[in-house]
Amino acid sequence: MDFRDTLEEQAFRDRVRSFIDQKLPSNLVGAEEEDPGREQAIKEWRAALGEAGWIAPHWPSEYGGGGLSVSEQFVFNEEMAEARVPDVGGMGVNMIGPIVIRFGTEEQRKEHLPGITSGENIWCQGYSEPGSGSDLASLQTRAVRDGDDYVINGQKIWTSGAHRADRMFMLARTDPDAPKHRGISMFLLDMKSPGITVQPLITMAGDHVFNEVFFEDVRVPAENLIGDENRGWYVGAALLDFERSNISRMIALRHMVDDLVTTAQASGIEMTPAMRAEVAERAIEASVGRLISYRVISIQKRGGIPNYEASMNKLYRSEVHQRIAQTGVKLLGMYGELYRGSPHAPKNGSLAHQYLSTVSATIAAGTSEVNRNVIATRGLGLPRA
């Protein structure tokens, strides 16, 4: 594996760095959601990215994207992560946009893609259900054809951002008699459609990120079907073909370790030798995570599709994320348990909040158990139990 940039990659990296230096609003990096001026700074940054064609860097240029190669995407994501730039694309840019481009009709592309790149429409994902998490193909939400519409009944859960979303891309069962992977279809729907109810799910960290979404006789035009009926599972699985190095999240791990050291210094904490060794171990783990991302991208640059390597990436990242949060709380001692709002909480209780938030890291986006099974069977060739 060659860690060096080609001449073309280095030139592109320099271009991205120059863009960040010139265009990134100074009050955007590290800003909290409630910080005054953040919303305006986001608008300015989005406008700058849009002018450069980098709102959706991995989309083809004819659909408003940057048309970047896999290696350019990696460089772009790496530099944005190093600069701690917030993501303004969301699920629209990163998930459903590529699906509409690949499987949608020309009418669907014209209707949905401009609203994604402009930020006019925010999207959420309707996949998981109360009884269908790790085994998503067992989902039971039904979509029944009725004239020019499908009528949807059922429930989704852990729907990130549904309370703010304008649109949803979702999977529903259209053939209950088919084998479970073959009777599912993908739909696009307006979250303002009659019959949709969104109820909040508050996390143990006190955040409103997730929601339950209920569908009661929700009518969706048949033209909002993506791909062929009963082939939605394979449409959804195609998301896995896109860049999966997760370099941004691996770099975020190193930033977390750096922030631990900065917080300890600002709080006047003198680390014991044992504590120094533990923080150093977290730093080493973050660096190893970056190398795993390099491995994934090296496979893609050669034209391959990472399989178990992507599961290694996710498994390792989520578990290191938890360990860094645990080290942070431990480092601050009793002060590390103080939460937001306490005048004595270092960094306004962000480390305690992070500790609680990372509990779900090994569950969300594929549990550690599922990823270990993938690594065992596809990576090591072990037999299924």
Catalytic residues: 243
| Interatomic CA distance for residues 70 and 214, integer angstroms | 38
| Interatomic CA distance for residues 173 and 183, integer angstroms | 6
φ, ψ of residue 45 to 5 degrees: the values are: -70, -40
Residue 262 to residues 234, 255, 269, 271, 346, Cα–Cα distance (Å): 46, 10, 10, 12, 11
Burial of 260 (0-12, 13-18, 19+ CB in 10 A): buried
125 pairs with which residues across the strands?
A: 169
What single letter denotes the amino acid at residue 247? I
Structure tokens at 180: 């479970």
83 pairs with which residues across the strands?
A: none
Residue 104 to residues 117, 228, 232, 259, 303, Cα–Cα distance (Å): 17, 10, 12, 43, 24
144 pairs with which residues across the strands?
A: 151
Question: Which helix H or strand E contains 15, and what residues bound it?
Answer: helix 7-23
Residue 287 to residues 257, 293, 305, Cα–Cα distance (Å): 11, 10, 23
Residue 321 to residues 78, 184, 380, 381, Cα–Cα distance (Å): 18, 34, 25, 28
